Structure 1
Amino acid sequence: MEIRILHTEDASVYQDIRLEALKNHPEAFGSSYEEEVHFSIDVFNNRLMNKDNFTFGAFEKNQLVGVVTLIVEQKNKMKHRGNIVAMYVKPKYRGRGIAQKLMKETINQAIMLKEIEQIYLAVVSGNEGAINLYQLLGFEIYGIDKKALKVNGIYYDEELMVRFI
């Protein structure tokens, strides 16, 4: 298992796993498959080139099987904050600790940046596996965003979580 930051040469496999995640778990992401399926490879390339984002990939036998992104806030009053988004591990590879390894690398990256003092994330209410993992890694629920997402007429609440460094 290799965990590393994705680069532009990974754009195609990143696009594939991102679209898979959006298609199979629309309730877990703010973006939708219907929006991103029409994005060119350049959009995914630009995401990976953004110096304020760090997208980590988990590779098993050279296959990208999981991803997560750390977004560093850029506004002066918010530079002490980071946001973890877009966590996804392919179903076949779940239960092997990959999500935990991805999260640990992401947290370590935030710590290395020195400016970040707290990391935020949101997770769909009821996703107990993810919530338990995040709590194990030091995240605490500080609120609930009621009806945060609406997918096919169904509303989903999100648990808002924070980890102080």
Structure 2
Amino acid sequence: MSNLARWRIELISTDEEGCNFYLNQYKPFRLAALRRDPDAFGSTYDREINFTNDDWLSRIKNPLVKTFVAVRPHDGRVLSATSLIGPLPNPDPSSNPLQASAEMRNGGDQHHKHGNAQVSPLSFQISGVYTTPEARGQGFAKELIKTASEQAINSAKGQDRQLSLSVVVYASNSAAIRLYKSCGFVVGEGGFRSSFNPHKNSSFEELVMHYREPPSIS
């Protein structure tokens, strides 16, 4: 059995231990991913390599962001990761959910509950999962998506509200589209949409996919 088979899913905490893990393990994982597969991300290596530690920690300390990782217990190495963003006041999925959540946290988009807002769906968005090349084919991505989805499902149930869970995928990323379909996501009715990415100064075709919880069997 390979060492890659010995792993566990963790939610990175916001305490001192979690912050140290984020800087010492997640940060190198993220930067390596941005450099190795730039087309898989909305951000860029050149942008994030210039982040200060405070910039990095502002992400993990953002109450709207929960980052899940698949790690090797014996050395803490991150093999795969994804983030769950929400609950969001705007049900329309964002091309850059981490940026949107930071703007919301800083007061750029406040959520005021009034009228029928209390019974509106609770909206979350998954920020694309990434797995290191040597760890692919082990099921990490699927387990992370399942874990993040269950977190969103339980949050909605806890508030007795319907769930709106989405992910935005590059239309050219057929592997990611297949992965999300296997995890219960379906392509939205709007089909392809064009989105401008200021970090890359380019426009890309995207697909919005929505989670459909399987019907319960009575």
Is 2:65 the partner of 1:17?
Answer: no
**Residue 6 of structure 1: aligned partner:** 12
**Residue 67 of structure 1: aligned partner:** 81
Instruction: Report if the CA contact (8 A) 2:121-2:164 is conserved.
Output: no
**Residue 124 of structure 1: aligned partner:** 170
Q: Tell me how far apart the structure 1 counterparts of residues 132 and 145 of structure 2 sit (CA, whole Å).
A: 15
Give the secondary structure class of the aligned counterpart of 2:43.
coil
Q: Tell me how far apart the structure 2 counterparts of residues 79 and 5 of structure 1 sit (CA, whole Å).
A: 24
Give the secondary structure class of the aligned counterpart of 2:138.
coil
Decide which moves more: 73-82 or 13-22: 73-82
Bigger share in strand? 1
Q: Deviations over 1:72-96 (max 9, x none)?
A: 0143457611011142111110011
**Residue 145 of structure 1: aligned partner:** 193
Decide which moves more: 143-152 or 86-95: 143-152
Instruction: Report if the CA contact (8 A) 1:125-1:157 is conserved.
Output: yes
Q: Tell me how far apart the structure 2 counterparts of residues 67 and 160 of structure 1 sit (CA, whole Å).
A: 20
User: 1:3: Cα distance to partner?
Assistant: 0.4
Give the secondary structure class of the aligned counterpart of 1:65.
strand
Q: Deviations over 1:20-65 (max 9, x none)?
A: 2222222222211111110012222221122211100100242111
Aligned residues between the structures: 165
Is 2:54 the partner of 1:42?
Answer: yes
Q: Which has the larger radius of gyration?
A: 2
Instruction: Report if the CA contact (8 A) 1:28-1:123 is conserved.
Output: no
Decide which moves more: 5-14 or 139-148: 139-148
Instruction: Please point out which of 2, 25, 28 is paired with 2:40.
Output: 28
Aligned residues: CA RMSD = 2.3
What TM-score do the two structures reach when normalised by structure 2?
A: 0.68
Decide which moves more: 107-116 or 57-66: 107-116
Q: Tell me how far apart the structure 2 counterparts of residues 79 and 19 of structure 1 sit (CA, whole Å).
A: 34
Decide which moves more: 31-40 or 7-16: 7-16
Q: Tell me how far apart the structure 2 counterparts of residues 153 and 38 of structure 1 sit (CA, whole Å).
A: 18
**Residue 155 of structure 2: aligned partner:** 113
Q: Tell me how far apart the structure 1 counterparts of residues 132 and 35 of structure 2 sit (CA, whole Å).
A: 12
Q: Tell me how far apart the structure 2 counterparts of residues 20 and 86 of structure 1 sit (CA, whole Å).
A: 16
**Which residue identity is paired with 1:10?**
F
Q: Tell me how far apart the structure 1 counterparts of residues 61 and 202 of structure 2 sit (CA, whole Å).
A: 35
Q: Tell me how far apart the structure 1 counterparts of residues 35 and 197 of structure 2 sit (CA, whole Å).
A: 15
User: 1:126: Cα distance to partner?
Assistant: 2.8
